[in-house]
Structure 1
């Protein structure tokens, strides 16, 4: 089965350009639009809320929310609110964040892996409607439960590059978001690490001026390697995703 495809709205574009991109992607029938949250550009939850409100069908992904920046109870509350208002249209990835940036804002921790494990586990349990009490190294919750958990929790992924984080995503989340993929073998190794049931989403940067046949071959190669979703990202010096939206709106030529 061919992978689901989508595009990234990079935060190198100003937030006031988001609505035009959302409406363009919605009109073109693209399945997914993904958003970044990078220091110190644009907020992932705020842009996701706007993108969901400006569309009716588009699935919106946040890739990713850095866990050092939010208490897991707050993260779960915000995610649950969006999931209830826009059912089955939200995907969220949680991750370490860029460590120099986390240090810059006073949020860096000694063990990012421990924090990620504790944070993701707590958020997932809260979204499932559980009452959570935990006293971990970094996460401390005492009888916390969401008053408005979503009837169906959105897909929760772990953003990963290294093998340990990939394996963690397969263990504590619904799957993994792989960033900056340039080699199908990276996808293949991740699939082997997380197993067949986990969802594997892949960010890959492509030149929108490339031909449709080459783009179709690349998406097919990543799908054959194990990607369930392939998200196309324009280069940082030309971040507008609308040329990629237009490419995805046309059928890939047959081999």
Structure 2
């Protein structure tokens, strides 16, 4: 099943978000995804505003960089959004851009280990569990949410490289791919995600959504503007990573 949505780029000023979110809602789009790129707009604040301004639109964050937030704080934010706007808040987590993480002093030596520990703890907290764990990066001592969601909301995992894609399949209910990922790479990513899903103790047959944005343009000079976007985002470059 294909879901049609749009992306609000954080390179646009925050004050334009209301009009865009309401236009997407009125146009019948199913989802609006927000990016949290450093050092632009905060994803949680933008998501909560977009949800409040709309009636039926699902709003996603793609993604929250896990080195920037304690997992208990992230769980509190996600749980609050889910209870305020049931079924409409879609949250993605991921490594974050490593250069940006280095700029703020939180770059992890092993991003995959951090994402595994973080995603495992976040799923458990959002399921209403009391969590005690002591990992390389994530440590919790008897932490449980006082206001957990009635049912655990879906968790999306952003991934590019093979190890991260397998982990996304293992931990996530959906996977976020880089914008402009071509069809052949989407198929490759899907296969790696399915390898990770096969490792799950349970839920390997549950639906798993793949989210990828494609560039589009309409109106005068659409082809030229689209080509400029392709060059700007380096869509011809090969992708590698964890």
- Normalising by the smaller structure, the TM-score range is 0.7 to 0.9
State the Cα distance separating 1:186 from its structure 2 match. Answer: 1.4
Residues 143, 180 of structure 1: alpha-carbon distance in 2 compared, 3 angstrom cutoff: same
Q: Which moved more, 1:117-126 or 1:194-203?
A: 194-203
TM-score by length of 1: 0.80
Separation (CA, whole Å) in 2 of partners of 1:161 and 1:200: 15
Do 1:126 and 1:146's aligned partners in 2 also have CA atoms closer than 8 Å?
A: yes
Do 1:175 and 1:194's aligned partners in 2 also have CA atoms closer than 8 Å?
A: no
Q: How does 1:119-134 map to 2 (within 5 A)?
A: 119-134=118-133
Partner of 1:152: 151
Separation (CA, whole Å) in 2 of partners of 1:91 and 1:235: 26
Partner of 2:211: 202
Separation (CA, whole Å) in 1 of partners of 2:229 and 2:82: 30
Separation (CA, whole Å) in 2 of partners of 1:143 and 1:11: 36
Separation (CA, whole Å) in 2 of partners of 1:116 and 1:182: 22
Q: Does 1:4 align with 2:3?
A: yes
Residues 185, 200 of structure 1: alpha-carbon distance in 2 compared, 3 angstrom cutoff: farther
Separation (CA, whole Å) in 2 of partners of 1:5 and 1:50: 21
Separation (CA, whole Å) in 2 of partners of 1:150 and 1:210: 43
Q: What secondary structure sits across from 2:4 in the alignment?
A: strand
Q: How does 1:1-255 map to 2 (within 5 A)?
A: 1=1, 3-195=2-194, 197-209=206-218, 235=229
**RMSD over aligned Cα atoms:** 2.0
Residues 236, 38 of structure 1: alpha-carbon distance in 2 compared, 3 angstrom cutoff: farther
Separation (CA, whole Å) in 2 of partners of 1:55 and 1:65: 22
Separation (CA, whole Å) in 1 of partners of 2:231 and 2:10: 11
Separation (CA, whole Å) in 2 of partners of 1:10 and 1:178: 15
Which deviations, in whole Å up to 9, do the C-alpha atoms of 1:26-70 show, x marking residues without a partner? 110110000000100000000000000001100000000000000
Partner of 2:198: none
State the Cα distance separating 1:235 from its structure 2 match. Answer: 4.3
Separation (CA, whole Å) in 2 of partners of 1:30 and 1:197: 24
Separation (CA, whole Å) in 2 of partners of 1:189 and 1:147: 41
Structure 1: which 4+ aligned runs deviate by more than 4 Å? 234-238
Greater relative contact order, per chain length (Cα 8 Å cut-off, separation 6+): 1
Residues 130, 178 of structure 1: alpha-carbon distance in 2 compared, 3 angstrom cutoff: same
TM-score by length of 2: 0.84
Do 1:191 and 1:200's aligned partners in 2 also have CA atoms closer than 8 Å?
A: no
State the Cα distance separating 1:172 from its structure 2 match. Answer: 1.3
Do 1:176 and 1:198's aligned partners in 2 also have CA atoms closer than 8 Å?
A: no
- The total of aligned residue pairs comes to 215
Residues 161, 155 of structure 1: alpha-carbon distance in 2 compared, 3 angstrom cutoff: same
Uncovered stretches (5+) of structure 1, i.e. residues with no partner: 212-233, 239-255
Do 1:65 and 1:94's aligned partners in 2 also have CA atoms closer than 8 Å?
A: yes
Q: What secondary structure sits across from 1:118 in the alignment?
A: helix
Which deviations, in whole Å up to 9, do the C-alpha atoms of 1:209-252 show, x marking residues without a partner? 289xxxxxxxxxxxxxxxxxxxxxx94999xxxxxxxxxxxxxx
